[in-house]
Amino acid sequence: MSNNNTMSRRKFLSVGAGATVGAAAAIGAPAVIASRDTKFKWRMQTHWPRGTWYYEEIFQKMADEIKAATDGELEIETHQPGSVVSTGDTLRAVQRGTLDSAFTWPSYWIGQIPVAGHLNGNLATWESHEEMHLFFYDMGALDIIREAYAARGVYQLGPYSSAGIALYSNRPVRTLEDFRGFNIRSTGTAARVFEKMGAAPVSIGGGELYQALQTGVVDATHWGGIAAGWGMNLQEVTDYIIRPDLVAHTNGEVIINMDKWNALGSDHKQVLDSVLRATAINSSAKFSHRDAQHMEEFVNDYDGEIIHMEDEVIEQMRVHSMAVVDEVSERDPDYSGKVGALLHEFMEITGKL
């Protein structure tokens, strides 16, 4: 890069959220500045279908901002689900270098990396983007999660928010009794919480959700927040949106092949960290705004109904959610155990337990 470009990048970094050099050093990567003649082109696949508004406005926008912030030295070639590998094979593809990076969903591999479930968020825990950020960045949960991914040859860049977790349903759900026998499409630790509440979780891919709701295979589903589900046209095949959100902010993740991460200079690494944090805020705001708009449309244009769960439901959901956290901690003490302990501390200092 020229001196002018270097100064431009430094100005960008000076307002960023902080360097990731320390995290890189923790996994043995040298802190270096990239050669000004070095250019990288990465393939990054997402689980979000092309054609949804968030594919372009969040995923593609993040890739464009990385290229701009690095003066074209790091270019992200974006890929829709299945275009390089299946969504279920994404983690392995990043490990092996078939994909350089992925913008994806952590709960897909909690069987391999149990602590990944904490990135998605635990039901009835944090209630704002600030609380989520506090937990991961200030209390150190993300550092522990990064260690777990590094053990598999993957760098965990961090979370991006898609606002809350909302239920689209064809059955009204207000009370604890309403959860009994409730067939709900769910994934990860959320599915285990629903099971403890008497529901019957079902694992169904995103591309099959519409038909599953339309044909009655499931009673309800969560696909991020209201706006995320709207992007999948779930409003067309459901009668109810259940409030409040099951967790205020749920997160996806950006993961990177470790060799590709280590090949970057500290300046490129800091750009990635700063752009992802900005993307998380931007994504959260966009989803939250659309959530509010779509609730009104759901009632007025689709003759739907907004159902509010009783406070007792949320209280019991919180109890079951922390019980699942403890169960995972027992099976994975090195990583989940440490993050679980931090979550208990978080719940106490924020007055939730």
Domain membership of residue 16 (yes or no) is: no
Residue 27: pLDDT over 80: no
What three-state secondary structure class fits 80?
coil
Claim to verify: residue 48 and residue 142 sit in the same structural domain: yes
Q: Are residues 190 and 57 in the same domain?
A: no
Confirm whether 333 is domain-assigned. no
SS3 47: coil
pLDDT of residue 279: 97
pLDDT in tens, 197-239: 999 999 988 889 999 999 999 999 998 899 989 989 999 999 9
Q: Which domain does 91 fall in, by range?
A: 39-164+250-288
Between CA 174 and CA 305 the distance in angstroms is 12
Strand residues in 3-62 grouped as ranges (E) = 40-46
Residue 173 covered by a domain: yes
pLDDT higher than threshold 90 for residue 115: yes
Q: Following DSSP, what letter does each residue of 222-284 receive, concatenated? A: --SSHHHHHHTTGGGS-SEEEES-SSS--EEEEEEEHHHHHHS-HHHHHHHHHHHHHHHHHHH
Q: What is the band of 248 on the pLDDT scale with cuts at 50, 70, 90?
A: confident
Report the share of the chain in percent with pLDDT over 70: 90
Count structural domains, the chain.
2
Does residue 346 belong to any structural domain of this protein?
no
Do both 51 and 101 map to the same domain?
yes
Residue 3 lies in a domain: no
Domain edge (last residue) among 288, 303, 338: 288
- Average pLDDT, integer, range 18-40: 53
Burial (CB count within 10 angstroms: exposed 0-12, middle 13-18, buried 19+), residue 81: buried
Q: Are residues 262 and 280 in the same domain?
A: yes
Tell me: do 160 and 172 sit in the same domain. no
Given a contact cutoff of 8 angstroms between Cβ atoms, the answer to whether 277 and 158 are in contact is yes
Q: 254 and 243: one domain?
A: no
**pLDDT value for 9:** 52
pLDDT at 231: 87
Residue 281 has a pLDDT of 93
- Which of 268, 288, 308 delimits the end of a domain? 288
User: In this model, does residue 22 exceed pLDDT 50?
Assistant: no
pLDDT of residue 188: 78
For the cut 80, the answer to whether the pLDDT of residue 127 exceeds it is: yes
Q: Average of pLDDT values for 17-42?
A: 56
Say how far apart CA 125 and CA 347 lie, in whole Å.
7
On whether both 239 and 308 belong to a single domain, the answer is yes
Average pLDDT over residues 191-195: 94
Residue 5: predicted pLDDT:
47
Rounded to the nearest integer, the mean pLDDT of the chain is 90
175, 319: one domain = yes
Co-location of 116 and 259 in the same domain? yes
Cα–Cα distance measured from residue 17 to residue 24, given in angstroms and rounded to the nearest whole number: 16
138 and 112 within one domain: yes
pLDDT in tens, 310-334: 999 999 999 999 999 999 999 999 9
In a domain, 29, yes or no: no
Q: pLDDT for 266-295, tens place per residue?
A: 999 999 999 999 999 999 999 999 999 999
Instruction: Report the CATH number that the domain containing residue 155 is assigned in CATH.
Output: 3.40.190.170
